[in-house]
Amino acid sequence: MTTGLDAELMERGRRLFAGDWKFIWASPSIKTLPPMAGVEIAFAGRSNVGKSSLINALTGRNALARTSNTPGRTQELIFFEGPKNANVRLVDMPGYGFASAPKARIASWTSLIHQFLLGRASLARVYVLIDSRHGIKDTDQDILTTLDRSAVSYQIVLTKADEVKAGGMAERIEATRALLVKHPAAFPDVLATSSRTGAGMPELRAAMALLIGERQR
């Protein structure tokens, strides 16, 4: 049963993401980042894990973030800004790991990811997206280690939950929680989502609304 607080947070999250969201900036390098402002929330994950699809599902817009079946399509830090009174930005990060791009280019944007995570004071949290069909891989561990070192709060979001059987999903969540015990900067709760069905989106919006409220006090 949903508590009063949960219901309030769900509504706050719904209102936040029902507002006007728009693309504002693309940064191919640290030198071209926009000035820090408000609360920034970033989405990281392996190539083709579903970051852009998740942002579109969160905001209820089919084409706010570009999606592609080709790994490595997002090669810059893409910034989206929410309603003016919210003072919140979302950051779609390049995928790490395998990508259909030259090795030098992959190395360049992998370095960009790590530099951004280590030096952005306005970054409130990173949501690390993990394909629920496969779980945490070695390439994910590299990002988790960077986040631990930079002391940036992060939370695991399992994507494509609709492609995993219910029993298997519960096991994946528990296995992920067990791995996070070794990571001091990790938020302990694991969220399971599906951009296709919308499952888990109200909970993710509520978690973000809570975080934003805490940072803006």
Q: Look at 205 and 5; give whichever has higher pLDDT.
A: 205
Band of residue 2 on the pLDDT scale cut at 50, 70, 90: very low
Give the CATH number, domain containing residue 52.
3.40.50.300
pLDDT at 197 over 70: yes
Q: Report the C-alpha gap between 35 and 2 in whole angstroms.
A: 39
pLDDT at 62 over 90: no
Residue 116 structure tokens: 């951004």
Which of 38-52, 60-74, 123-137, 162-176 comes out lowest in average pLDDT?
60-74
What are 106-133's pLDDT values in tens digits? 567 577 878 888 878 999 999 999 999 9
Contact 153, 124 (CB under 8 A): yes
Q: Report the C-alpha gap between 60 and 56 in whole angstroms.
A: 6
**What integer is the mean pLDDT of 85-107?**
76
pTM: 0.89
Q: What is the count of structural domains for the chain?
A: 1
What are 26-55's pLDDT values in tens digits? 998 889 999 998 999 999 998 889 999 999
pLDDT for 184: 87
Residue 57 domain boundaries: 4-215
> What secondary structure does DSSP assign to 105-159, as a single string?
HHHHHHHHHHHHHHS-TTEEEEEEEEETTT---HHHHHHHHHHHHHT--EEEEEE
Q: Report the C-alpha gap between 2 and 6 in whole angstroms.
A: 6
Beta-carbon contacts of residue 1 (< 8 Å; ≥ 6 apart): none
Beta-carbon contacts of residue 217 (< 8 Å; ≥ 6 apart): none
pLDDT at 3 over 70: no
**What integer is the mean pLDDT of 185-207?**
95
Handedness of CA 205, 158, 179, 103 (dihedral sign): negative
For the chain, give the longest Cα–Cα distance: 51
